[in-house]
Amino acid sequence: MFDSGVGGLSVLSACKRELPNVSFLYLDDGENRPYGDKSREEVIDISEKCVRRLIGAGCNAVVVACNTATACAVGTLRKRFPTLPIIGTEPAVKPALASSDGKVLLLATPLTAKLKEYSDRVIIGEERTLASEIERVYPNPYKLAELAHAVENKYRGFSSIVTGCTHYAHLIPYFTRPVFDGADGVAKRLKNLLL
């Protein structure tokens, strides 16, 4: 499993809950942090290097625990490593839309926000620095709460929040609206592939 920092730890936690007897290796790619402000080609190159490192360490499946890397690179990675199960992390937009008739706020890095079309019921909250800010204050709960409240108050007209970056999952306990996160879906997909 890899991400550009602490964001993917939320995915790792979900996977450990779903697969308690599986051994995990987590690659925190702090050297290339953050991914969200890089070009698509850079993220593909970085992601391929991470996958090669994980294969070299003996991993027999890879979780791309980053929404930006998934949006940019997962298709290319699956072509380049056709025998390796590779699971990406997608924003939980569909469940959020299904749970409400109102609008949902998708918090995402600039690159993730640009790579996919969304329903007109989705408000795109393009956050340029939020992942880096979370990385800087993690694991301080008071600072995380401040970030969550500032982000939530920045946008209007939504009934729920979708985390479109795994870093943003660390703000979930501090949001006041319902939050939809893709980590549990990743864990279930990994379980289906491995068992």
Q: Counting Cβ atoms within 10 Å, is residue 110 exposed (0-12), middle (13-18) or buried (19+)?
A: middle
Helix (H, G, I), strand (E, B) or coil at 75: helix
**Residue tagged active-site, from 15, 50, 72, 165:** 165
* Catalytic entry in 50, 59, 66, 72: 66
Q: Can you read off the two tokens belonging to residue 181?
A: 């996160």
66 is catalytic: yes
Side-chain-side CA neighbours of 149 within 13 Å: the count stands at 6
Cβ-based neighbour number of residue 90 at 10 Å: 18
Catalytic, 50? Answer no
Please state the length of the chain. Answer: 195
Question: Any idea which residues carry the catalytic annotation?
Answer: 66, 165
